[in-house]
Amino acid sequence: GENVEQHPSTLSVQEGDSAVIKCTYSDSASNYFPWYKQELGKRPQLIIDIRSNVGEKKDQRIAVTLNKTAKHFSLHITETQPEDSAVYFCAASLNTGNQFYFGTGTSLTVIP
Amino acid sequence: DADVTQTPRNRITKTGKRIMLECSQTKGHDRMYWYRQDPGLGLRLIYYSFDVKDINKGEISDGYSVSRQAQAKFSLSLESAIPNQTALYFCATSDRGVGAGDTQYFGPGTRLTVL
């Protein structure tokens, strides 16, 4: 099956700086890549996603890039704020099965 | 998201006991999933169901069973709980999508402790 690796496992940034989280996947058939944010004690919630026919997608301060050739995708958060502090999970999904394979998560801390 | 609910929210049980975790959704979604979350391991898929008559094993189904009683209900059972099943369990739903993938909507989670 698919294997998704996520780095780094922890990340601390100063408020206002940018944060980048990277994921790699193993199955070239994967074609949907969502990112979920999980605040402490809360459920994961989708923040942005990208499909394999697109190289980049932006939504205000967050963006995701996808490199299909290298089989990696990244989450970029600009102008970080304390409320961005959370655990972020990447995931990959195959078209036919709709199973989601999650990365192991990145704990982001934004220091005021 | 109150559309996906899980009961109980917390449960402490003893080794060897049978436990059932329940998930209900009012989103009208066909697809339902059970995940467990462990520190440092992310979310791992236990079972998933695409409709009432469809049950599929995920990455880590050993020691678990499920029942899809209706479109809106998907239960996870631990027939004989063991301590390494101590984890946070999430139910999730998604709609049948056109093309690849779909947003998954997670329930609030059930924290299970097996002593």
- Helices vs strands, H then E, count in chain A: 0, 11
Asked if pLDDT for residue B96 goes beyond 90, the answer is no
- Indicate yes or no: CB of B109 within 8 angstroms of CB of A43: yes
Strand, helix or coil for residue B83:
helix
Identify the closest residue of chain B to A100 by CA–CA distance.
B45
**What is the rounded average pLDDT of the residues B23-40?**
92
Q: What pLDDT shows up at residue B59?
A: 87
Q: What pLDDT shows up at residue A100?
A: 86
Asked if pLDDT for residue B100 goes beyond 50, the answer is no
Asked if pLDDT for residue B98 goes beyond 80, the answer is no
Lowest mean pLDDT among A81-90, B37-46, B67-76: B37-46
Using only C-alpha atoms, what is the Rg of chain A? Answer: 13
Identify the closest residue of chain A to B38 by CA–CA distance.
A104
Q: What are phi and psi of B105, to 5 degrees?
A: -110, 120
Percent of chain B with pLDDT over 70: 92
Q: Which residue has the higher pLDDT, B109 or B94?
A: B109
Contacts of A107 (CB under 8 A, 6+ apart): A9, A10, A11, A86, A87
Of B9, B2, B26, B13, the closest CA to residue B90 belongs to: B9
Low-confidence ranges of chain A (pLDDT < 70): 95-98
Q: Residue B44 — very low, low, confident or very high, per pLDDT cuts 50/70/90?
A: very high
Q: Residue B37 — very low, low, confident or very high, per pLDDT cuts 50/70/90?
A: very high
Distance of CA A10 to the CA centre of its chain: 13
- Indicate yes or no: CB of A100 within 8 angstroms of CB of B1: no
**What average pLDDT does the structure give for chain B?**
91
Of B21, B39, B24, B40, the closest CA to residue B107 belongs to: B24
Q: Residue B109 — very low, low, confident or very high, per pLDDT cuts 50/70/90?
A: very high
Interface residues on A facing B, Cβ-Cβ cutoff 8 A: 1, 6, 9, 31-32, 34, 36, 42-46, 49, 51-52, 89, 91, 93-95, 98-105
Q: Residue A60 burial by CB count (10 A; 0-12/13-18/19+): exposed, middle or buried?
A: exposed
Q: Per 3-state DSSP, what percentage of chain B is helix, strand, and coil (rounded to 5)? A: 5, 55, 40
